[in-house]
Structure 1
Amino acid sequence: MSSPRVIVQLVIVGSRILGKALLEAGRQAVKNAKHRPQGGIGDAAGVGNARSGSVTDRLTREHLMTLDEARMILNLKQNEPMEKVLQHYEHLFQANAPPVAAEAKAAAEGAAGGAQQGRFFNSRGAGPRYHSIYLQSKIVRARERIEAETKLAEEAHETVPEQPEQPPPPPSSS
């Protein structure tokens, strides 16, 4: 056997094996895409279960987050006032915000002076400050979900007319 012929045969056999492997991987990917496990990984919020026509389920589908999940993200208890919601929102949003230009400049100057390179320090100098746009987006969505639920509750409270207290009926003499 000549050397070029062996090389061509190796390439052909190798491409067949690779083609079969890619085909099988594609079939498995299609199977995985169609299959949703019971309980649903990726549906921790229960958004997939929000199928009724209720307003709360509509808000859950719209914001892709349940009210309980929104409270957990903002570290709130049940029935916290809106001021507390906004305080927690502001704190968490700022904690995950990228450093402002002045902090970035100071960090760059500090890095040049022998400090830890590549890390931003917070304004109090209490160590490195990291940020996450993903967490910020979850925090914003959590606040929006709680605000939507609060607005819904206020509208429901306004639309229900308050009934004046009626005296109990007189006892019947039977």
Structure 2
Amino acid sequence: MAIQIVVTGGQILGKAFYEAGRQAVKNAKAAPASAVGSDVAGVRHATTGSPTDKLTREHRMTLDEAHLILNTKPDSTIESIKNHYEHLFKMNSPAPKAPKAKEATPKPKPTGKAAKAVVVPTNSHYLQSKVVRALERIEAELKIAKEDGEVVSKAEGAAAEEAVAEAEAGSEKKP
């Protein structure tokens, strides 16, 4: 009886591994080798020579993704986008370190409910870089739109001009 259970279990396990192997081979054949680990949503489909697709490949982020990261809408003004950017950047920045007092007395550690109420500030360099890249992607799109004369409204035109001016000022400051 025990031998029959072991044999049946082995057959089931063998079939499962065989099917998993077949599926892995199918998946490996379906995805090109260059796309493994480097596919970003939308980048694979950015294959035309249009300026927007070039920006998508260059920044490895679509315009929609940039707006999602910054929690803005595509028709938002540059001021609104920059406000969202600054807020998200500050929230993910490390807190400034307070200078230590020379004669500081150690504070007792809170216990009970007070210990649970203590909030440890967190920061994320990864999220900060995503926020920066999202702003760069939106500014690049506005710059291309201004160069091509595709600006539809005066508000967008002013926003594009401001973004281009700030981008140029920022590139002059960098070594």
TM tier, shorter chain? 0.5 to 0.7
5+ residue gaps, structure 1, are 1-30, 117-124, 160-174
Structure 1 or 2: more helix by fraction? 2
Are positions 1:75 and 2:71 aligned together? yes
Inter-partner Cα distance in structure 1 for 2:28 and 2:97: 44
2:85 match: 89
- 2:55 pairs with 32, 52, 59, which one? 59
Letter in 2 for 1:114: P
The question of whether the paired residues in 1 share the 8 Å contact of 2:40 and 2:60 is answered with no
Q: Do the aligned partners of residues 76 and 105 (structure 1) sit closer, same or farther apart at CA in structure 2, a change above 3 Å counting? A: farther
Instruction: Trace 1:4-153 onto structure 2 (pairs within 5 A).
Output: 36=31, 43-102=39-98, 112-115=106-109, 127-153=119-145
% of aligned pairs identical?
51
Deviation at residue 100 of structure 1 after TM alignment: 1.1
Inter-partner Cα distance in structure 2 for 1:64 and 1:57: 10
CA deviations over 1:23-56 (Å, ceiling 9, x no partner): xxxxxxxx7877639xx88635211111111100
Q: Do the aligned partners of residues 79 and 128 (structure 1) sit closer, same or farther apart at CA in structure 2, a change above 3 Å counting? A: same
CA deviations over 1:92-122 (Å, ceiling 9, x no partner): 00000011122x859xx79x52347xxxxxx
Q: Do the aligned partners of residues 78 and 92 (structure 1) sit closer, same or farther apart at CA in structure 2, a change above 3 Å counting? A: same
Letter in 1 for 2:64: D
**TM superposition outliers: structure 1 runs of 4+ over 6 Å:** 31-34
5+ residue gaps, structure 2, are 1-24, 111-116, 152-175
TM-score, length-scaled by structure 1: 0.56
> Which is worse superposed, 57-66 or 45-54?
45-54
Higher Rg of the two aligned structures: 1
